[in-house]
């Protein structure tokens, strides 16, 4: 009689010390576990071999990307149930997450559970696990961390997967950061509201010079030039993003006011600028280089110029300054990404000479945005698979859904930090009244 699911359910409960919260469906057609719960579908016993050979998040991630594991039913409920069981801090990542090591990995090493481990090995079957899925970012390993060359490789891995795929996920706005939601708005309206919020915080005026660090597909520089009359420069390390942005600029007749450069932020040399935006880029900088990054931006601003730094933050932990995002995110989504507490980010900006004037938390806004992106991907799943690969589509579905949960559960946050290069006379340019951007 087929009973792999029953055996897996029992072994999971024994190894973890608590009943497994999902129903399990196994490769032999058997099913076992709590009725009505989301189903963890173990399509092939190779998934077990991957986990046993790499007992942690990366082993499970490889099985997921290879299509050997899946969650049937409510994906969010399934991940939420698993997060409290497997991850010490919960899943998610980079544009991210605050994942941790799998407690199950420790359980495999406990002497009193050796019999269960031996049975799990027998259930996994003979043989080594197959090589990691080709979507894994092996090609960005090596070289100094956060050197310009390695950063270019990491950015290319994430962003150069095809503009058509990103258009499918993000929608027409092509904005890859959290939207700003008001009652009754849709994703496109919420993204326009976010772009306008940034422009108002930066106090943009006709003729002002704006630098967008990590400009993506050009949405902010286009909006700022079109609505506020600025002269804008956007920089990115992604050739595909730059090509798409330049096409949009030409189509809107804004080539005389907007320029896109494939350039590292360390290579910008034509300051001063009146305003700088860095939206969803600083997570790639790295804690060891963050002070230098802040110093570069400070040096590129004129006295009185403003910086808007929009960045995902992790929760602070004792005696821990730097934090690499979890194994799944690092291997498949944002190689070399790091998250820092918002307080650390504020301190680094102040150390560089900035005066921080405002911090706005947008955690719930990002959760809503990610759920919209997941819905877009699921609605166009077959097309997404054709555009990239089944594995790449599975990567994006898992990372966005898990990240939405991480924002909802307050495991990670996202903040807009508004700072100014205050002149020597102390005239910050901020009036002593309610902020102008709150007035719409």
CA 75 – CA 150 distance, rounded (Å): 34
Q: Tokens representing 195?
A: 């772009």
Do 120 and 56 lie in one domain? The reply is: yes
Residues 105, 157, single domain; the answer is: no
Range of the domain at 73: 4-124
Q: Which residues contact 110 (CB under 8 A, 6 or more apart)?
A: none
Task: DSSP for 82-99, please give it.
Answer: HHHHHBSS-S-BTTB---
List the one residue out of 427, 301, 297, 279 whose CA is nearest residue 349.
297
CA-based Rg of the chain, rounded to a whole angstrom?
Answer: 23
Place of tokens 């799998």: 102
Measured distance CA(44)–CA(78) in Å, rounded:
19
Per-residue pLDDT reduced to its tens digit, 299-343: 999 999 999 999 999 988 765 544 556 788 888 887 777 899 999
Whole-number Å distance between alpha carbons of 386 and 168:
12
- What mean pLDDT value characterizes the chain? 88
What band does 413 get if pLDDT is binned at 50, 70 and 90?
Answer: very high
Query: How many alpha carbons lie under 13 Å from residue 17 in its C-beta half-sphere?
Result: 10
Same domain, 181 and 274: yes
- Count how many domains the chain has: 2
**Higher pLDDT among residues 15 and 84, named by residue:** 15
Residue 25 CA: distances (Å) to CA of 10, 18, 29, 75, 124:
13, 19, 7, 15, 15
pLDDT digits (tens, 9 = 90+) for 16-39: 888 999 999 999 999 999 999 999
Which of the residue ranges 91-95, 287-291, 292-296, 361-365 would you say has the lowest mean pLDDT?
A: 91-95
Statement to judge: residues 79 and 203 lie in one domain: no
**pLDDT given for residue 101 in this prediction:** 38
103 has a pLDDT exceeding 90: no
Residue 129 resides in a domain? no
Question: pLDDT-derived band of residue 82, with 50, 70 and 90 as boundaries?
Answer: confident
Which of 124, 159, 177 delimits the end of a domain?
124
Q: Same domain for 99 and 181?
A: no
On whether both 154 and 295 belong to a single domain, the answer is yes
Q: Is the pLDDT of residue 248 over 60?
A: yes
Domain boundary among 109, 124, 139: 124
Measured between alpha carbons, how far is 242 from 161 in angstroms, rounded to an integer? 13
- Is 142 within the bounds of a domain? no
In a domain, 130, yes or no: no
* pLDDT at residue number 157: 65
C-alpha to C-alpha distances, 132 to 61, 136, 227, 281, nearest whole angstrom: 10, 7, 47, 28
User: Is the residue at 136 inside a domain?
Assistant: no
Convert the pLDDT of each residue in 124-159 to its tens digit. 998 888 899 988 876 545 567 767 777 777 666 666
192 and 99 in a common domain:
no
Domain identity same for 114 and 152: no
Q: Within this chain, do residues 328 and 395 fall inside the same structural domain, yes or no?
A: yes
340-354: average pLDDT: 96
Tokens representing residue 295 in the block: 């110093």
3-state DSSP call for residue 65? helix
Q: Looking at residues 269-276, what average pLDDT do you find? A: 97
Degrees to nearest 5, angle at CA 39 with 36 and 45: 150
Same domain, 111 and 178: no
Q: In this structure, is residue 141 part of a structural domain?
A: no
The pLDDT assigned to 325 comes to 62
- Of 38-52, 108-122, 249-263, which gets the smallest average pLDDT? 108-122
Of residues 299, 234, 231, 237, the one with CA closest to residue 263: 237
pLDDT tier at 88, thresholds 50, 70, 90: very low
pLDDT at 100 over 50: no
Average pLDDT over residues 412-435: 91
Same domain, 273 and 219: yes
Q: Read off the tokens for 279.
A: 């939206």
Residue 182 has pLDDT above 80, yes or no: yes
Which CATH number fits the domain that encloses residue 218?
Answer: 3.40.50.150
Residues 66 and 185 in one domain: no
Give domain status of residue 139, yes or no.
Answer: no
């Amino acid at each position: 009689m087929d009973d792999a699911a029953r055996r897996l359910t029992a072994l999971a409960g024994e190894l973890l010390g608590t009943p497994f919260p999902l129903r399990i469906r196994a490769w032999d057609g058997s099913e076992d576990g709590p009725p009505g719960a989301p189903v963890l579908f173990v399509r092939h016993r190779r998934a077990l071999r991957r986990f046993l050979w790499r007992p942690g998040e990366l082993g499970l991630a490889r099985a997921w990307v290879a299509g050997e594991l899946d969650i049937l039913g409510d994906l969010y409920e399934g991940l939420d149930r698993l997060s409290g069981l497997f991850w010490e801090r919960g899943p998610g990542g980079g544009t991210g997450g605050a994942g941790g090591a799998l407690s199950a990995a420790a359980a495999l090493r406990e002497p009193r559970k050796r019999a269960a481990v031996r049975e799990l090995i027998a259930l996994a079957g003979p043989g080594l696990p197959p090589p990691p899925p080709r979507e894994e970012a092996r090609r960005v390993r090596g070289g100094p961390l956060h050197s310009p060359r390695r950063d270019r490789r990491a950015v290319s891995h994430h962003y150069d997967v095809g503009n058509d795929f990103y258009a499918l996920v993000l929608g027409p706005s092509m904005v890859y950061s959290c939207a700003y939601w008001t009652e009754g708005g849709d994703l496109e309206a919420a993204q326009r509201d976010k772009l306008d919020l940034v422009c108002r915080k930066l106090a943009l005026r006709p003729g002002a010079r704006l630098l967008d660090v990590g400009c993506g597909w050009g949405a902010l520089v286009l909006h700022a030039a079109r609505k506020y009359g600025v002269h804008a420069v956007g920089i990115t390390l992604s050739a595909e993003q730059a090509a798409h942005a330049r096409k949009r600029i030409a189509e809107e007749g804004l080539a005389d006011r907007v320029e896109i450069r494939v350039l590292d932020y360390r290579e910008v040399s034509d300051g001063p600028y009146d305003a700088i935006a860095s939206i969803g880029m600083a997570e790639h900088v790295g804690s060891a280089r963050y002070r230098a990054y802040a110093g570069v931006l400070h040096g590129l601003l004129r006295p009185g110029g403003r910086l808007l730094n929009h960045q995902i933050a992790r929760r602070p932990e004792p005696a821990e300054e730097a934090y690499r995002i979890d194994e799944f995110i690092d291997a498949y989504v944002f190689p070399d990404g790091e998250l820092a507490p918002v307080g650390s980010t504020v301190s680094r900006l102040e150390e560089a000479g900035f005066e921080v004037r405002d911090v706005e938390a947008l955690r719930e806004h990002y959760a809503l945005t990610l759920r919209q992106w997941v819905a877009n991907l699921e609605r166009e799943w077959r097309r997404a698979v054709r555009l990239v690969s089944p594995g790449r589509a599975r990567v994006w579905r898992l990372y966005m859904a898990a990240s939405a949960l991480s924002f909802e559960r307050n495991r990670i946050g996202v903040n807009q930090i508004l700072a100014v290069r205050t002149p020597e006379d102390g005239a910050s340019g901020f009036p002593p009244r309610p902020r102008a951007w709150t007035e719409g």
